[in-house]
Structure 1
Amino acid sequence: MFKKHQIYKTDKYNMLTVEVQGKTLIVREISDQWGEECHTFVSRPEMLHWAENRFRPSDFVGREEELATIMAAFKEV
């Protein structure tokens, strides 16, 4: 059984989850613009590095709370 963490979900077309499969972390990002993207990481630091580059503070001006919530959810994985 894999452990699944929901990072965010705005609706069924915009969500991001992380599945923990042993030591492997699989990030599934679903967006109405790009469809489903899948990223596989072998460590938490590698996944967090990706998340920090994917969710940049400059993209969340005026929505800093949303960014903080997303990054906190990644750190809980």
Structure 2
Amino acid sequence: MIKKHEIYKKDNWNMMTIEVQGKYIVLREISDQWGEETHTFLSRPALMHWANNRFPKVEFQNNEEEWHQLMAAFKEV
């Protein structure tokens, strides 16, 4: 059974989705800047490690609420 999670979606070119496929967690990140990137994780801690590196809290100093919402979405996976 595949479970899909939408982390964020601004439009069809700026979005991130996660599919849980058995023991794999497949993250698809689509941006108008970089195109589509796919990352596969074997555990939720590995996913959270990537998320914390990809979205460092210091980049959200003026908008910490957005960072908290983003991290909460990752934790729901």
Decide: shared fold, TM above 0.5: yes
Identity %: 64
Q: What stretches of structure 2 of length at least 5 have no aligned partner?
A: none
Post-superposition, which runs of at least 4 consecutive aligned residues in structure 1 deviate over 2 A? none
Q: Residues 1-77 of structure 1: matches in 2 within 5 Å? A: 1-77=1-77
Q: What stretches of structure 1 of length at least 5 have no aligned partner?
A: none
Shift of 1:58: 1.4
Shift of 1:29: 0.4
Measured in 1, the distance between the counterparts of 2:35 and 2:61 equals: 25
The root-mean-square deviation of aligned C-alpha atoms, in Å, is: 0.8
Measured in 1, the distance between the counterparts of 2:61 and 2:36 equals: 25
Aligned length: 77
TM-score by length of structure 2 reads: 0.95
